[in-house]
Chains A and B, each alone.
Chain A
């Protein structure tokens, strides 16, 4: 199994015939095998709503900004270093905190919620006279700097003489060889296989699974969609929303749940944790996505009540939670007014 590493240059292409007889492995990559499409629970293209400005703002608000959570201790797989100390003036502290705000924004950037990508079928030329020129495919890649990996020219000459654009899997593998993305592996890690994924989710390692999926896959990769949607559903079923709060995955998860119309658990979670603002935002998002214009005039409490009376699926549980919340709120207000009266009389 000799590998050919002959390099030759034609025009602006630097062409590498690679892995001469490693083709078998190449074409039967696990990505191709597991193309049985995962049903996300909706037919709409989520990118239509995801990139809308008001949706982004709502998702951003729902995510929250807990600095302690975002900058929590993480296991980096490296030897620990002793902490560093600095003596800072107030201005310097403010400046560092401003830098941290920018860093937080970068860390909380949401991976987009997209629909599955279309397979590549573009054929550049058919040259039957080249048929049987070799028993393997030749892949050509432009390795110039400064090109987006999705726009990089990667073409394949098949043994039957067809010159075509590389498939998504071929492209990703070639790009990973020449421009490795940190944390990404050429073959899909076993963790994302169905059985192992189930184990990971049962252990409650949602954030880890989602983070690694972000590093491994493109957001429109069918495997990414399968893994992430499954994780979102698992979080929803187990009511573990707080583990994903203040992470970059909370927004896409909320959007996914709203698109599936299974946001009742989340709303229940918000109400029981007395986070009315988040609950209101969630209902607003629901109306925004399912294009109901009537919501904008209503006040906050009315909005939630209308949702519970209207489109909610788990009505009894939500209603009960909402009533208890209202009662507690009422008591709190009474106590507050009493104490205010006392202070006034004193």
Chain B
């Protein structure tokens, strides 16, 4: 049989010497001949070619040996894949295998069916019934499927690497693909309570360890979440579990059991400025007008969204990285707020609001049951009363120009002509429909070139 093969090959390829090993596997000579004729020779992986020596007169064939046994045909697929996708314990200690986890084992059997191969054959009993109607089906060749190979390769390419789920920018968390800042949906329903309108946001998601006598270092995942309906109700809690998802679920459902009601001013901001602290974290919160937004620590921002506060300024001093302390301090502050009625009763004075947009018309927010006639020193300012006589120290402004300084005068002289530039622009646009020079009447050809976006020629 071998001789026949070699003979047929030598007929085909001239005087080249071949070392054929795998070809022996083939028992059917006709198939081999067919495959050799139709396929380029390089497809045979174990065939080694030496280029023909054209220059030498005498033909001198070079012979190289090929080892037929390697770990490829000795080891099972699982072990082979393990070698590629993981790193040994010893290797890990030396810092190898940093990319471990990115590569995953491919299941090469996927997409392959018994009886279906490169040649599209109909094998009765294997990939088709033997009898159809009253006829016996014969084994026959069907036209080849040209896309089969490409499909198989595509399927294999898709497998190998670990891919993250694509998130829309609105669903992303604070940083990259990390969980903190991401929404994990409403808490699970309890009885008839479905927690409609609630949303949960992860504030902290980390691995925590504990040493045990028999188990050594045990790891768990800790999740710290806040849940709220955006309408005054909110709660926060931690949950710990071996699995991250379980920790999240636990935390979410625990938070739903610890809901607190927070008073808001016109459903958009806090009732008044306040100070709150927890541990080393201190927070100074300021009431802000509508449209100001949430200018604060990101954890505070998420809590505000859960509570339904839309405008606030908060400055965190001390530890800002301890998210649990930040959250607790802020929540304590929110819950300690005093309503206008409470303030009025405490001070026995009218609480009166003045707004610039109402031309400082006094709006009486709360009246006490009885009004006192003389005021204490703390009653001079609402914040003084709320902070029990303490005053928030304000930082000095960074740069204060010395107006007699020649360099400042120079600066003013240089920039004076630009001081109303934006307003002048608007006025010119209103008056002439364009930004123009005062010389435009005299020299109409001197005007600003208007840039218009070029339309794509298609």
Contacts and interface: CB of A to CB of B under 8 A. Distances in A.
A87 B357 contact: no
A190 B426 CA distance: 13
Given A1-B442, A82-B289, A87-B382, A97 B355 contact: no
B374 A1 contact: no
Given A82-B287, A82-B289, A187-B431, A89 B371 contact: yes
B359 A71 contact: yes
Contacts of A72: 358
A1 B438 contact: yes
B354 interface: yes
- The 5 A-B pairs with the shortest beta carbon distances in the complex, nearest first, are A80-B289, A71-B361, A87-B349, A85-B382, A84-B354
A85 B375 CA distance: 15
B298 interface: no
Interface residues of B, number: 40
Given A87-B385, A91-B373, A80 B291 contact: yes
A222 B357 CA distance: 33
A81 B372 contact: no
Contacts of B290: 80
Contacts of B439: 1
Interface in B279-317: 286-292
Contacts of B353: 83-85
Nearest to B439: A1
Interface string B368-396: 00011111000110100100000000000
Contact of B349 (A78, A89, A96, A100): A89
Nearest to A100: B361
Nearest to B340: A85
Contact of B286 (A74, A82, A83, A96): A82
B357 A97 contact: no
B430 interface: yes
Contacts of A85: 272, 351-354, 365, 382
Interface of A: 1, 25, 67, 71-76, 78, 80-93, 96-97, 100, 103, 107, 187, 189-190
A93 B361 contact: no
Contacts of B358: 71-74
B424 interface: no
Contacts of A92: 350
A89 B357 contact: no
Given A87-B385, A97-B362, A76 B356 contact: yes
A71 B379 CA distance: 27
B286 A87 contact: no
20 contacts: A1-B438, A1-B439, A71-B358, A73-B358, A74-B357, A80-B356, A81-B355, A83-B287, A83-B353, A85-B351, A86-B382, A87-B352, A87-B379, A88-B350, A89-B349, A89-B350, A89-B373, A90-B373, A96-B362, A189-B430
A88 B349 contact: yes
Contact of B350 (A67, A76, A93): A93
Interface in B11-49: none
A90 B350 contact: yes
Contacts of B380: 87
B240 to A, nearest CB: 41
A3 to B, nearest CB: 10
Nearest to A96: B362
A200 to B, nearest CB: 15
Contacts of B357: 73-76, 80
A199 to B, nearest CB: 15
Contacts of B379: 87
A28 to B, nearest CB: 12
Given A88-B349, A88-B352, 19 more contacts: A1-B438, A25-B441, A67-B361, A73-B355, A74-B359, A80-B291, A80-B356, A82-B286, A83-B287, A83-B289, A85-B354, A87-B343, A87-B347, A89-B350, A89-B371, A90-B373, A93-B362, A96-B352, A190-B431
Interface in B406-445: 430-431, 438-439, 441-442
B375 A87 contact: yes
Contacts of B442: 1
A106 to B, nearest CB: 11
A146 B343 CA distance: 49
B100 interface: no
Interface in B321-361: 343, 347, 349-359, 361
B352 A86 contact: yes
B364 interface: yes
B371 A90 contact: yes
Contacts of A78: 356
A254 B384 CA distance: 50
A1 B356 CA distance: 45
Contacts of A83: 287, 289, 353-355
Contacts of A84: 353-355
Contacts of B351: 85-87
Interface centre among A85, A86, A189 (most CB of B within 10 A): A85
A84 B352 CA distance: 8
A93 B363 CA distance: 10
Contacts of B431: 187, 190
A96 B438 CA distance: 50
B289 A190 contact: no
A135 to B, nearest CB: 14
Contacts of A75: 357
Contacts of A100: 361-362
A80 B385 CA distance: 25
